Structure 1
Amino acid sequence: MLTRKQYELLCFIDDRLRESGVSPSFEEMKEALDLKSKSGVHRLISALEERGFLRRLPNRARALEVIKMPERTEAKKAPARAAPAPAAARPPQPANDVIEIPLHGRIAAGVPIEALEGATMLPVPAALLGSGDHYALEVAGDSMVDKGILDGDYALIRRTEVARDGDIVVALIDDSEATLKTFYREGAMIRLDPANRAYDPQRYASGQVRVQGKLAGLLRRY
């Protein structure tokens, strides 16, 4: 069963698509649902995706498709919603929706450094993020340059504690140091591989390493 806000957002998107064929912007969705931030819209969209009601279309920042609508019995529980403004009354909106995710300090792409926590928020184009909860880390070091991850980049990380061989992960070592490396299992050991021949792989007992997330994207400022 959908929450009231999930249902209201789904109906708003469905109405706009039927009227104009174009998804509403994150700003329009935030205002329509009286939310405080676009991150709240992002969480609602992710929840609707996970439940099979909504799908993001690739390569377009604002392309949403309503896959199904809830049953009538569920719809009756939601309050009446105001009709959206006609599409002709609004100028076309640019596909530049941005959400803010937490920026948790700097992470070593070379040798591990102490994991830092911070309250800074980083604005990120919504098109760079998929479903799930995300945070960002500023990369320090050059050991992942062969993967295109450079010193000063912002690594966009999807929170997860599970990784497969070959995933680029944030690994927390001995609950005190974090590093960005490619993850592999070797029996009872964990191998964290750099992407620079100047650095050697790091090996730890599996109990020493906890996966904190997987690389979802990169943000670079010039």
Structure 2
Amino acid sequence: MLTRKQLELLEFIQKRMARDGVPPSFDEMKDALDLRSKSGIHRLITALEERGFIRRLAHRARAIEIVKLPEAMERNAKAGFEPKVIAGDRSDPPRGALAVEAVGALELPVMGRIAAGVPIEAIAEVSHHVAVPGSMLSGRGEHYALEVKGDSMIEAGINDGDIVVIREQGTADNGDIVVALVEGHEATLKRFYRRGGMIALEAANPAYETRLLREDQVKVQGRLVGLIRTY
């Protein structure tokens, strides 16, 4: 399995080669992945080559050949997946909603499904990629996406089947909607509150009870920064 950075680099190379006929330079790769030095790109390229996804040709500048793509990436490329980014009711996109490609889209890995209801086992494997407007990616740091399963966050405007965009971070403020890892193996999407020495994971649906857990039972894995709904 590839890491997120390896997947991002492979997809960036594939798109640039499809557009220009030649792979990007190391400087372009460094800027695209927001790395500080080209040494990080060298490590990613080496890892992709060792896993058989690319091949470097000797004695030629920018000599990178794509040998294969992960299945999910290949399916997305063939399908030309282009979701719409909206907020609001599932049946009526709001006025001014823009297609992703119109607002400077970036690709994020969808790391499986997240429970907005009863916690499910944590999933950390890329299932596919989704286009996300760059303006949705708040601040610096890593971002990823998850598909929502369940209805416990419907009063926060988050429905079953939505894609939530998450910024990786290990802390949260009261009221933040977070991805919380419960007891090391269950992941859930809830509002985060500190109550005395306990952590409250609160649903946005009165049908679900608030869960009170010890601090050592909860690990924040990221904060909600955006929502994608496909019609």
* TM-score tier (shorter): 0.5 to 0.7
What CA distance in whole angstroms lies between the structure 2 residues aligned with 1:98 and 1:216?
15
What CA distance in whole angstroms lies between the structure 1 residues aligned with 2:34 and 2:228?
21
- Give 1:159 shift: 0.5
Equivalent residue number for residue 139 of structure 1? 148
Equivalent residue number for residue 127 of structure 1? 135
What CA distance in whole angstroms lies between the structure 2 residues aligned with 1:104 and 1:200?
26
SS in 1 for 2:32: helix
- Give 1:106 shift: 0.3
Matched, 1:209 2:218: yes
* TM-score for both structures, normalised by structure 2: 0.57
| 8 Å Cα contact 1:145/1:195 also seen in 2 | yes
Equivalent residue number for residue 185 of structure 1? 194
SS in 2 for 1:35: helix
| 8 Å Cα contact 1:96/1:125 also seen in 2 | yes
Within 5 A, what are the aligned runs for 1:162-181? 162-181=171-190
* TM-score for both structures, normalised by structure 1: 0.59
SS in 2 for 1:110: coil
- Give 1:96 shift: 3.1
Equivalent residue number for residue 205 of structure 2? 196
- Give 1:104 shift: 0.8
Look up the equivalent residue of 1:166 and give its one-letter code: G
SS in 1 for 2:181: strand
| 8 Å Cα contact 1:189/1:205 also seen in 2 | yes
Matched, 1:114 2:105: no
- Give 1:123 shift: 1.9
Question: Which of 19, 36, 43 is the aligned partner of 2:34?
Answer: 43
| 8 Å Cα contact 1:173/1:208 also seen in 2 | yes
The alignment yields a C-alpha RMSD, in angstroms, of 2.4
- Give 1:139 shift: 0.3
Look up the equivalent residue of 2:110 and give its one-letter code: L
Q: Which runs of 4+ in 1 moved over 4 A?
A: 30-34
SS in 2 for 1:105: strand
Look up the equivalent residue of 2:143 and give its one-letter code: H
SS in 1 for 2:152: coil
What CA distance in whole angstroms lies between the structure 2 residues aligned with 1:105 and 1:35?
29
| 8 Å Cα contact 1:42/1:99 also seen in 2 | no
Percent of residue pairs bearing the same amino acid type: 49
- Give 1:134 shift: 0.5
Question: Structure 1 unaligned runs (5+)?
Answer: 1-26, 48-93
SS in 1 for 2:103: coil
Within 5 A, what are the aligned runs for 1:1-150? 35-36=28-29, 40-41=31-32, 43=34, 95-119=102-126, 120-131=128-139, 132-150=141-159
SS in 2 for 1:146: helix
| 8 Å Cα contact 1:103/1:135 also seen in 2 | yes
Equivalent residue number for residue 78 of structure 2? none
